[in-house]
Structure 1
Amino acid sequence: MAQDRDEKNPLSFSGSIDTYFQTNLTAPDDTPQSFGTAFADQLGFALGMVNVIANYDGPKTGAVADLTFGPRGEAATSGFNVNQLYVYWNVTEKTKLTLGRFNTYLGYEVISPLDNFHYSTSYEFSFGPFTHLGLRADFELSEDFSLMLALMNVTDVNNNLTGAYAGGAQLGYKGQFLNFYYDGGEALGFEIDYTGGFEVSDSFFMGINASYDENNGTGFYGGSIYPELKASDNFKVGLRAEYFAQTSDILATDPNVFATTLTGSYTIENLIIKPEIRLDSWSDNEPYLNRDGAATKSLSSFLIAAIYSF
């Protein structure tokens, strides 16, 4: 029997393409250096990634294949090119099971530049897991509350060679999420974070992220705010202010950094232009070089990114 022309096609395709230009403001570009966070770490004209997503959404079951190509995608998937690959089953209207590789539920930011306000990424995102492989169950407990439970391989591992597993949980309430991750492998440890935000007005949103990670005597903790202002239908401006500290049993003090990123976002049809100024300043470490080639605590840069969605 031929499919009804008015019936929704369960197979859909979407994705994005991104590229950027970046220059250091406090250091020469002929001495390559970056902030140490994930992605957007090249100078001059550089490539992001191609992201192609195929989604088959049936009445109760479906599948997602999310593929990436290019430096940003290779860094996120360790050259595997598969960002997400999973099947799902809507057991009831309020219960969903997902099996496969899926992006992490931890943190405020994600891999895709299309779904982040800022083009560069935070330390909290960069030091946390990117993806998980396992089984997760999502429950809609009420109009306000949600719960997710997951059993997974250890962080960013596609196959299990040790017999160790990780557990995850997320409790949501009106757009605020408390996330927990436990790693049972050699890197025995856990991460807990809060991710949320508040609509202050129709044109102003305040995003919030705070996290703590412990991993066999090392780890990190930090917090970020993400105020965003909608200036017009096509233009927004946002700030990311982050405090991040690394921890270790063998260090006398915790290396910590304060990083601020100011980003504009201008939309023309499916094209998003993002100019961005970023300044990172460490309290004790001197991980960067200034224009004279001397070690320094701070680095600032300017970039402009172009992201096209389809």
Structure 2
Amino acid sequence: MKTIINTKYIKNLAFTALALVSLTVFAQEEEEVKPKFEFSGTVDAYYRTNLTAPNGEDAIAPGSSFANLDGFALGMANVIAAYEGEKVGFVADLVFGPRGTDAIFASPQYSATGDIVNQLYVYWNVSDAVTLTFGNFNTFLGYEVISPAANFNYSTSYLFSYGPFSHTGLKADFDLGNEWSAMLAVMNPTDLTELNGTGDYAVGAQLGYSGQFLNFLYSQGGFEIDYTGGFDLSEDFFLGINAAHFSQEDDGGSFTGAALYPQYTTSENFTIGLRGEYFMTGDAFGNGAGIGSDADGDASVFAVTLTGSATIGDLILKPEIRLDSTSEDAFIDNDLEATGSLASVLFAAIYSF
């Protein structure tokens, strides 16, 4: 603002400045409670190739979700519209592309090519401590999520891939104070997001403290317990943790897994991170998809993924190398012989807006 030094008008200017400051503060207070509409999302694409297995017509991939296509491939366009009022609001989260189609695999009820709704819910802040959410929302279990911009590694873990992706129902979040939180939910069976269709319902719960979460889910005779959290070991070093166990009643199968996510920030624009995961299934859970099974229906996999993350404005570039080793011969080598190991690399680009 232009500086005025004429002392004749100091009193008038001081009064005017005070009035302007008051109006500014009032306007800011008004702005804070003014409802706002936000539009955001991501676009991602990648290149992937096998090092120890064929590509092209005979290409194979790890048995986890997403980022499994050959050569230059598409992720998805994720478009999110959100309205935040003083007490109520909504989120409409739409996905287009292979990653989005895989994410909503159980809900192609109203389109020949699959639905496009990733999340669609309304919420009500009943008080400062209680929020009710009604509709379709991504799962509260696990360390990784559907959005590629919110994960450090571009490819996903077996824990994420075998767990639920989304739910439809009613949940209540509680701020218990002193960094404690809780959540209770009643929902359709896991991943049935458009409608129920079974007459059964799932229940979920979460207890959180200072960024650490213990999650529970019971759905159609299956029970899962999940721990998700992490710790800042130093200013530049973070360690994420995920562990889960699922079991189905009446010998319907089970899985158990644990993953560590150490990440080290080397500069303002670059971080390097590792995901080390051990995952096992029992009684041919999921028909051994992706990791095979022995005569008793049991299998396990150890996977290590090294990822770099370089930020250029709103663009994130992620080079990645991944090594999967299974207890059974779930892969093939370059001679088309069965083998228990697979090495692959990819390069992903993610733009957020």
TM range (shorter): over 0.9
Give the aligned partner of residue 273 of structure 1.
317
Amino acid at match of 2:338: A
Greater helix share, structure number: 2
Give the aligned partner of residue 349 of structure 2.
306
Give the aligned partner of residue 24 of structure 1.
50
Cα distance in 2 for partners of 1:253, 1:74 equals 29
1:143 offset after TM fit, Å? 2.4
Deviations 1:244-274 (Å, cap 9, x if unpaired)? 0011189536200000000000000000000
Normalised by the length of structure 2, the TM-score is: 0.84
**Pick aligned residue for 1:255 from 294, 299, 311:** 299
Deviations 1:45-86 (Å, cap 9, x if unpaired)? 000000000000000000000000000000001221100000
1:205 equivalent in alignment to 2:238? yes
1:215 offset after TM fit, Å? 1.7
Cα distance in 1 for partners of 2:310, 2:273 equals 12
1:44 equivalent in alignment to 2:71? yes
Give the aligned partner of residue 86 of structure 2.
59
Give the aligned partner of residue 329 of structure 2.
286
Aligned length: 303
Give the aligned partner of residue 99 of structure 2.
72
Contact 2:54 2:60 (8 Å CA) reproduced: no
Greater Cα offset, 193-202 or 209-218: 209-218
RMSD over aligned CA atoms reads: 1.4
Greater Cα offset, 252-261 or 149-158: 252-261
Greater Cα offset, 216-225 or 45-54: 216-225
Contact 2:35 2:85 (8 Å CA) reproduced: no
* SS of residue in 2 equivalent to 1:126: helix
1:167 offset after TM fit, Å? 0.2
Amino acid at match of 1:288: F
1:182 equivalent in alignment to 2:229? no
Q: Percent identity of the aligned residues?
A: 58
Amino acid at match of 2:350: I
* SS of residue in 2 equivalent to 1:265: strand
- Mapping 1:142-181, distance limit 5 Å: 142-157=177-192, 158-181=194-217
* SS of residue in 1 equivalent to 2:99: helix
**Pick aligned residue for 2:228 from 192, 195, 198:** 195
Greater Cα offset, 298-307 or 251-260: 251-260
Cα distance in 2 for partners of 1:230, 1:162 equals 47
* SS of residue in 2 equivalent to 1:124: helix
Deviations 1:214-253 (Å, cap 9, x if unpaired)? 1242020010000000000000000000000011189536
Cα distance in 2 for partners of 1:268, 1:161 equals 46
Contact 2:35 2:86 (8 Å CA) reproduced: no
Cα distance in 2 for partners of 1:91, 1:287 equals 50
The runs of 5 or more residues in structure 1 that have no matched partner are none
Contact 2:142 2:242 (8 Å CA) reproduced: yes
Greater Cα offset, 152-161 or 125-134: 152-161
Cα distance in 2 for partners of 1:109, 1:229 equals 18
1:201 offset after TM fit, Å? 0.4
1:203 offset after TM fit, Å? 0.1
Cα distance in 2 for partners of 1:83, 1:237 equals 29
Amino acid at match of 2:94: L
* SS of residue in 2 equivalent to 1:125: helix
Contact 2:272 2:309 (8 Å CA) reproduced: yes
* SS of residue in 2 equivalent to 1:307: strand
